[in-house]
Amino acid sequence: MTAPAHHHAQAPHAYVSPIPVRAAHLGDALASEWTKIRSVRSTMWTLGVMILLMFAIGLGVAALASASEAPLGEESALGFGFFGMLPASICVITLGVLTIASEYGTGMIRTTLTACPSRARVLTAKAIVFFLLVFTLTTVVTALVAAAQVAMVDAAEPTGAEWLRATVGAAAYLATLGLLSMAVGTLIRHSAGAITVMIGLLLLPLVAAMFMFSQSLKSVQEFLFTYAIPSQMISLYSETPPFGESGPAGWEPLLIMAAIAAAALGGAYALLNSRDV
């Protein structure tokens, strides 16, 4: 020791905290992310608006359909759930991006990664908390809306598999889309930029396909119509491919979305680990 002003007795490294030291684990990170996600207003706003839209649109469409005399054929009323899912997905995208990008925007990410140097643990905790929150909430909402739609509209009685896809399947699809948004938010590190990218990804393929009149672009148009995210949401409600003979149907759209989200999250893990914060 060089500073003569300090004649305290302690040797270097003498300070020992009275608070018991224990190694932090993923459970701690989950608790932390839960505290974070419930203590900001943007969560309440995006999820509140999502619930509101799903109820308003789902019930509104069902009311219109029940008032109409046109027969529904062999279709069940569960397919009406799609109309609430599209606006809900915009809310989920926003929340998914904000979950991580707001940390970059505010600089909070540096505080977070100082408190937990394991960046993978932070991202994993964020992904789990976000997924479970969105999945649970949308499962409940889609179930309530679907029950109301089936009760209101005079149509074929849905099977158990259809019920499962329209509730758990739709909720899982939305939550996985949210995970993709979170991964994009991690890659882009900017809220507005990442939300723009995700909304573009959601809507532009379909809009572009609508204007592909040229015969030479026919195959591209068909591909976009089949695999655009809204089209896949519709496929989720259908046993057979709704657009032509090929294409995803049933649970397949969810698997496609899960694969894309997993790839994006893999990139997010790699970049988060290697990049300077």
| C-beta atoms surrounding 146 within 10 Å | 25
Contacts with 237 (C-beta within 8 Å, 6 or more apart), sequence order: 78, 79, 81, 82, 162, 165, 166, 170
Nearer to another protein by C-beta: 39 or 215? 39
How big is the site for another protein, counted in residues (CB under 8 A)? 51
111 forms part of the interface with another protein (CB under 8 A):
yes
- Count of residues making up the chain: 277
Q: How far is the CB of 186 from another protein (least distance, A)?
A: 15
192 forms part of the interface with another protein (CB under 8 A):
no
Site string for another protein, 40-59 (x = CB under 8 A): xxx-----------------
Nearest Cα neighbor of 227 from 262, 261, 256, 198 is: 256
Residue from 114, 214, 216, 246 in contact with another protein (CB under 8 A): 114
Q: How far is the CB of 47 from another protein (least distance, A)?
A: 15
Nearest Cα neighbor of 161 from 273, 67, 238 is: 238
Q: How far is the CB of 48 from another protein (least distance, A)?
A: 15
Contacts with 212 (C-beta within 8 Å, 6 or more apart), sequence order: 218, 220, 221, 224
Nearest Cα neighbor of 128 from 34, 253, 13 is: 34
Residue from 48, 60, 64, 107 in contact with another protein (CB under 8 A): 107
Site for another protein in 115-134 (CB under 8 A): 115-118, 122
Site for another protein in 218-257 (CB under 8 A): none
Q: How far is the CB of 50 from another protein (least distance, A)?
A: 18
Nearer to another protein by C-beta: 35 or 159? 35
Contacts with 136 (C-beta within 8 Å, 6 or more apart), sequence order: 171
Q: Which of these segments, 30-38, 188-196, 201-209, 242-250, binds another protein (CB under 8 A)?
A: 30-38
67 forms part of the interface with another protein (CB under 8 A):
no
Rounded to the nearest 10 degrees, what angle do helices 229-236 and 191-210 cross at?
Answer: 80
70 forms part of the interface with another protein (CB under 8 A):
no
Q: Which of these segments, 23-31, 176-184, 189-197, 249-257, binds another protein (CB under 8 A)?
A: 23-31
CA 190 – CA 273 distance, rounded (Å): 17
25 forms part of the interface with another protein (CB under 8 A):
yes
Give strand pairing partners of 76.
156
Q: How far is the CB of 16 from another protein (least distance, A)?
A: 8
CA 70 – CA 262 distance, rounded (Å): 42
Q: What are phi and psi of 72, to 5 degrees?
A: -90, -10
Interface residues toward another protein, by CB under 8 A: 1-6, 8, 10-19, 21-25, 28-29, 31-33, 35-36, 39-42, 102-103, 106-108, 110-118, 122, 274, 276-277
